[in-house]
Amino acid sequence: MNRLTGILIAALLHGSAVAEPEIAGIVIRDGVVELSVQLDRPFDWRGIKFVSVKTFANNPPWLPPTRHELTFGHHEAGVLEWFQTDYIEIGNYRVTGDFTVEATVGGRKITGTFDPGTNLLKFNGLEYEPMVKSPTVTVKASVDLKRWGKVSNLESVAGETEWGGLLAVRFKLTPAARRFFVVQIYED
C-alpha cells in the first residue's frame, strides 16, 4: 500500500479541519464520532464503476431488485463491460473528452456524458452513479498533539463510496481521545 495523503487534524472543540483531502464534517452523537472525509480523487474512467440509479426487477422475482453496472477498461484497456440484470454486454469504448465517452456495443454506438455538477453519467437513456473502491483508513487520536494512539474501535468503512462524495469514518469516543484526530488514507 502507498500512503496517499498527509495527516489531517480535526479539532473537535472547534470543528475545524485542514489539508487535502479534508475532513468535511464532524458529528458526535451518542458517544460515536463520525468524520466525513472528502477524498478529492481525479476523475478516471478506468477506476470508476458506474451503477444505475434506477433498479430493475430480478429473475427469479423473489431476489432483490438489481441495478445495471458499467465499467470502462476495468479488466482490459478499451473494453466496456455492461452488466444488465442477468447478462453482460461487452464492447469497445474511447474517451472523446474529459467527461464524454463513445462506446460500441452490439453494433450500435452509444455516447455517454458525465456531468460533474450532478455527479451522474447519462448512458443509453439511464443515469449512473460513479462508485469507487474505498481506501484503507487509519485513525489516530491525541489530547495534546504530541502523543498519538491508533483508534482501535473503527466501524468498518463501506467497501465502495460515490466518486466525489464523502467517505464516512465512525468510531466510539473514548476518554483518552477527546480532542484531536488524525485520519490517514491509503490506496492499494
Q: For residue 140, give every residue at least 6 positions away whose Cβ sits within 8 Å of its Cβ, in sequence order, or none.
A: 148, 149, 150, 151, 181, 182, 184
Summarised one tens digit per residue, pLDDT across range 125-152 is 999 999 999 888 888 888 888 888 888 8
Question: What is the pLDDT, as a whole number, of residue 100?
Answer: 97
86 falls in which pLDDT band (50, 70, 90)?
confident
Question: Which of these ranges, 8-22, 44-58, 59-73, has the smallest mean pLDDT?
Answer: 8-22
Determine the CATH number of domain 45-133: 2.40.128
Sketch the domain layout of the chain as residue ranges: 2-39+135-187, 45-133
Please check the confidence at residue 2 and state whether its pLDDT lies above 50.
no
Mean pLDDT for all residues in the chain: 83
Summarised one tens digit per residue, pLDDT across range 23-53 is 788 888 888 888 888 888 889 999 899 999 9
∠ CA 115-48-89, rounded to 5°: 95
114 falls in which pLDDT band (50, 70, 90)?
very high
